Amino acid sequence: MRWSHVLVAAIFVLAVAACSSAPTSSGPDGGGGSSQGAPASQAAPPSQGGGGGGGGDVDEIFNGLIPPNSTETSKTTIGGAISATYTSTDSVESLVSHYGSAISNTGMEVFSTSTAQGSTSWLFGEEAGSSFGGSVTVAPDTGGGGASQIIVIITGE
């Protein structure tokens, strides 16, 4: 798998999330991406195809990983990649439990799970050697509002 794609996307999203909670804009040419600030509840529902969802459909996998009880705070689509941040009224523990099964329900294989300072991250992909995959990070809200923050990144060709 081209982990460099996932790592670059993860660094990009973390930088965007650290700089602002406002929706991000497209690239300088205005044509490379899009931004949205709609609540997650308005997003298209994920396909529930019995867990075999990995077929290179970035939007389908992304929709399957939208966190419950959440509001989208930023979303950027660049080429074959989507990155978004959310806040959720669910606890970190509840979201960790949710993503324990949600990732596999999309047909993706979890390659790595890490926990540090109250945050949990999953690195996943379609299969070894594939450039289709992503990451999800769940963390406590640093603003003290009691909500959880979620970053979802999906890359594909």
Per-residue pLDDT band at 44 (split at 50, 70, 90): very low
Q: Write down the mean pLDDT value for the chain.
A: 72
The pTM assigned to this predicted structure is: 0.65
Q: Is 84 helix (H, G, I), strand (E, B) or coil?
A: strand
The fraction of the chain above a pLDDT of 90, given in percent, is 47
Q: Please state the domain extents for the chain.
A: 3-19+53-155
Residues 6+ apart with CB under 8 A from 144: none
pLDDT digits over 63-89, tens only?
A: 999 999 999 999 999 988 999 999 999
Model confidence at 56: pLDDT above 70:
no
Asked whether 35 and 16 are in contact (CB, 8 A), the reply is: no
